Every structure is written in structure tokens, then in C-alpha cells.
Amino acid sequence: METSIIIETIIKAIVVLAVFSALAGFTTYIERKVLAYMQRRLGPSNVGPYGLLQLVADGIKLFTKEDFIPQNAARPVFMIAPIITAATAFIAMSAVPFFPEFELFGYVVRPIIADVNVGVLFVLGVASVGLYGPLLAGMSSANKWSLLGGARTAIQLLSYEVVSGLALLAPLMLVGSLSLIDINNYQAGGFTSWLIWSQPLAFILFVIAGFAETNRTPFDLLEHEAEIVAGYATEYSGLRWGMFFIGEYANLFTVCFLVSLIFLGGFNDLWFIPGGLAIVLKVMFLIFFFLWTRASWPHIRPDQLMWLCWKILMPLAVINILITGFVMMF
């Protein structure tokens, strides 16, 4: 019994790691294609059919590139920083239930690595630890652009963290549990029982915070090329740079799964669509939405982000909690 659980967990961890690293790579391809079509270009199209092998080419390039460490950099910190980003991104996934339970060769598989009863808290906590990666990278690079990027990481963390936490509080009050499986089961009643209908404001706030957390475009302050070269990643090359990006895309998936699980009904069956497929569709739509906004919206200044988060979103979140509380009371 004990060993079977250990083996099962190890297999699940390996599967999650493999699937999501591959997906992270694939998302870079999708992102380039979607952005290209939105800007009426073609995107990768020469390597392989529809440019699909571009992924492999990029992978080979990243693997074989020189691993460069600047002279005055704080070496150990510089070397560890990308690992923090990538590792925390995957650790955060361990508490996310990706699919409903299914049976494989008569063995019930629960597609969650660790069903901790504080799932949401764990995922949010570990994901925000991930921002230590860019922060330490920026501070250890011995480069002023990187330092600016690192400083902006701190700003970003200070801005969105409070919003994402407070925004989630209201739906959690309704559900009464921090476990993502409980949250999912709360919405088992079909389309109308989705939490987005009872908590629309929380949904919007959490998605905005999600944008900041994954540093996607309206809030991609950390490495905005037009302003600070490449921000915290300026001095990184090769695989270390690649790890930042695998971490970033893995984070993107985590946030999309979180949004789908908490607000969009999770992996419950949707009309005729089975639950496993439903959540994949939701996550795919959210990822597309993230790419879509990248093509459409301008990037904002760090002070604007702070202003937005502290002066607009946080009060809204608090008001939302108050209203939810009153509604639950009476």
C-alpha cells in the first residue's frame, strides 16, 4: 500500500514535469503563431511543417549555447536564480488537480500529486516564491538593466500579491474550503453553479492579478525590452535563460488551471462534454486569452501598476469581501 502510493506519486510527478515542460515549449510556438496572425505576419514557418520543428531547433540552440556568467556577478546566486523560477513553477503544480479521477487498468488514478487541504494557499504561496527567481537574477547579474528588472519584480510582487489573495477570499468564503478539489466539487451543479456568476468581480480581479503574476503583457514590467533591454534576463543565455521561460510558461498554465478550477467550473462535466475535456478547453481558451491580450494591449508603467493594484483593485476586492460577507450573513 505504502510503496504503491510512493511509486504512483513519483510517476505522476514525472508525468507532470514532462508534459508541462513540453507544453511550455509548445506554448512558445503557439504564442508566436497567434501573435503573428494577429499582426498579419506568418510566424515560424520554415522549419518543418508549419514551422513546428522550430521548437526543436530552438531547444537545440538553447542547449548548445554558451552558458555565460558575467565577471562581477554573484556566481552562486546567478546560477541558482533560474532554477528557483522553474522549480517553484512545477512545485506549485503539485497541488493542482488537473483532471477528474479516472480508472487505468482497474486502478483509480487521481490526477493530483498531493491533495493538500490548503491547496489554493499552497499554490499561490509557492508561485509567488517563484518571483525570487527574477528578483535574485536581477540583483546578482552585475548589470544595471537587470537590477532595474529586479527592482520591478519587487514592485510587481508588492502590487499583485495582495490583490490575488483578497480576490480569492470571497469565493473561498462561499466554498468554505481551501482545497482545490472541494472548490471544484462546489461547482458540480453545471454551468449555472460556476463561481464566476456569483463572484464576477473576484474573477476579474484574480485574472488581472494572474496577468501580473505570470508577467504577461499588460504587466510585463520585469523584462520589457523596449525599456530595460531584457530586464532581469539580460545577462542570461542558453539553458538558464530557457529555464526562466519554462518556469514562466509553467506558471501560465498553473494560473489558467487555477482560474478554471476556481471560477469556471473546474473539471466538472459540462453538458455533453466530459470533465477532462472541459477543463482542457477552458485552459486552452484562457491561454489564448493571455496571448490575445499580448497582441492587443499596451504595456503599463510600474507606478501605474502599483496605482492600479493598491488604489483600485485592492479596495474593490475588500468591498467584494464585505458584500459577500453580508450576503452570507443575511
Q: Give the span between the Cα atoms of 254 and 81, in whole angstroms.
A: 20
CB-wise, 132 or 307, nearer to another protein? 307
Can residue 42 be called a binding residue for another protein (CB under 8 A)? yes
How far is C-alpha 190 from the geometric centre of its chain's CA atoms? 26
Which has the closest alpha carbon to 63: 242, 247, 233?
A: 242
Q: Taking the chain, what is the end-to-end CA distance rounded to the nearest angstrom?
A: 47
* Length of the chain (residues): 330
Q: Which three cell numbers stand for residue 30?
A: 503557439
CB of 292 vs another protein, minimal distance in Å: 6
Can residue 34 be called a binding residue for another protein (CB under 8 A)? yes
Can residue 39 be called a binding residue for another protein (CB under 8 A)? yes
Q: Give the span between the Cα atoms of 223 and 241, in whole angstroms.
A: 12
Q: Where do the DSSP E strands lie in 79-128?
A: 102-104, 107-109
Instruction: Return the H-helix or E-strand segment holding 103.
Output: strand 102-104
Question: Restricting to residues 115-174, which ones interact with another protein according to CB under 8 A?
Answer: none
Q: Give the span between the Cα atoms of 295 and 46, in whole angstroms.
A: 22
CB-wise, 22 or 312, nearer to another protein? 312
Which has the closest alpha carbon to 267: 200, 204, 194?
A: 194
CB-wise, 222 or 308, nearer to another protein? 308
Can residue 319 be called a binding residue for another protein (CB under 8 A)? no
CB of 273 vs another protein, minimal distance in Å: 23
Can residue 26 be called a binding residue for another protein (CB under 8 A)? no
> Across-strand partners of 103?
108
CB of 296 vs another protein, minimal distance in Å: 4
CB of 303 vs another protein, minimal distance in Å: 15
Question: Restricting to residues 274-303, which ones interact with another protein according to CB under 8 A?
Answer: 292-293, 295-297
CB-wise, 13 or 316, nearer to another protein? 316
CB of 192 vs another protein, minimal distance in Å: 24
Q: Give the span between the Cα atoms of 244 and 236, in whole angstroms.
A: 9
Q: Are 279 and 267 in contact (CB under 8 A)?
A: yes
CB of 37 vs another protein, minimal distance in Å: 4
- Options 34-42, 100-108, 113-121, 248-256: segment touching another protein (CB under 8 A): 34-42
CB-wise, 76 or 298, nearer to another protein? 298
Q: How many residues bind another protein (CB under 8 A)?
A: 13
Q: Give the span between the Cα atoms of 326 and 318, in whole angstroms.
A: 12
CB-wise, 254 or 320, nearer to another protein? 320
CB-wise, 138 or 218, nearer to another protein? 218
Residues lying near another protein in the complex (CB under 8 A): 34, 37-42, 292-293, 295-297, 312
